[in-house]
A and B are shown apart, each in its own frame.
Chain A
Amino acid sequence: QKEVEQNSGPLSVPEGAIASLNCTYSDRVSQSFFWYRQYSGKSPELIMSIYSNGDKEDGRFTAQLNKASQYVSLLIRDSQPSDSATYLCAVSSRGGGADGLTFGKGTHLIIQP
């Protein structure tokens, strides 16, 4: 049974600070890793993907992957109130998500103005 674990939160961060979201996964052969943002009542929206160990930056977002530790994280710099949402970590154990992504339950992030 593949598992993806996230702290459910809520994680409260002051506006302008760095928000750090963490995710661990159980399947050692996992290859593809994704972060989705989901506003309440809305559908998940892909914000980052990462496949190799190390950091990947896209604007205010940085994804970090450590396959040896089975750990993936998302950093949000200069947090804005509009970043308040639930962030879902998703993992695929075969390149390209051949059997569908396994999602964590999400971390609820609150950015305090």
Chain B
Amino acid sequence: DADVTQTPRNRITKTGKRIMLECSQTKGHDRMYWYRQDPGLGLRLIYYSFDVKDINKGEISDGYSVSRQAQAKFSLSLESAIPNQTALYFCATSGAGVNYGYTFGSGTRLTVV
């Protein structure tokens, strides 16, 4: 099984619908992140969490919300999806300290029509 699992892998939804992207990890890390990737814009941080009680906004949090249900689970919600939220979404996890790198999930390709 993958260290970081994202579901669904692909999703097409309609404008105005609520959608949740889920992420779970088996690395035992406290830190989890949500990024979106758009062609020409690169990876941008949406939200990050250092533990269950610590949630922080990233660079582009407007229109998104998150829930950290457990150390291993971090969900991203779009309350009312809009077409410019069409993107590739990645969840990532990391350990603490300087000698670490992020482990990314396989991604969720979301299309809002």
- On A, residues with C-beta under 8 Å from B are 31-32, 34, 42-46, 49, 51, 88, 90, 95-106
Residues of B within 8 A of A97 (CB): 31, 94, 100, 102
When C-beta atoms are compared, the residue in chain A nearest to B106 turns out to be A43
Q: With a 10 A CB-CB cut-off, give which of B43, B58, B96 has the most chain A CB atoms.
A: B43
User: Which listed residue (B33, B58, B97) contacts A96, Cβ 8 A?
Assistant: B97
- On B, residues with C-beta under 8 Å from A are 31, 33, 35, 40-45, 48, 50, 56, 58, 90, 94, 96-107
Residues of B within 8 A of A98 (CB): 50
User: Which listed residue (B33, B101, B105, B107) contacts A100, Cβ 8 A?
Assistant: B33
B90 x A32 contact (CB < 8 A): no
Separation of A51 and B99 alpha carbons in the complex (Å): 9
B42 x A88 contact (CB < 8 A): yes
B101 x A95 contact (CB < 8 A): no
Separation of A31 and B58 alpha carbons in the complex (Å): 19
When C-beta atoms are compared, the residue in chain B nearest to A97 turns out to be B94
When C-beta atoms are compared, the residue in chain A nearest to B50 turns out to be A98
Residues of A within 8 A of B103 (CB): 46
Separation of A49 and B100 alpha carbons in the complex (Å): 8
B45 x A46 contact (CB < 8 A): no
A96 x B98 contact (CB < 8 A): yes
A-B contacts besides A44-B102, A96-B100, A97-B94, 19 pairs, CB < 8 Å: A31-B98, A32-B98, A34-B102, A42-B107, A43-B90, A43-B104, A43-B106, A43-B107, A44-B104, A46-B101, A46-B102, A49-B99, A51-B98, A88-B42, A95-B98, A96-B97, A98-B50, A99-B56, A103-B42
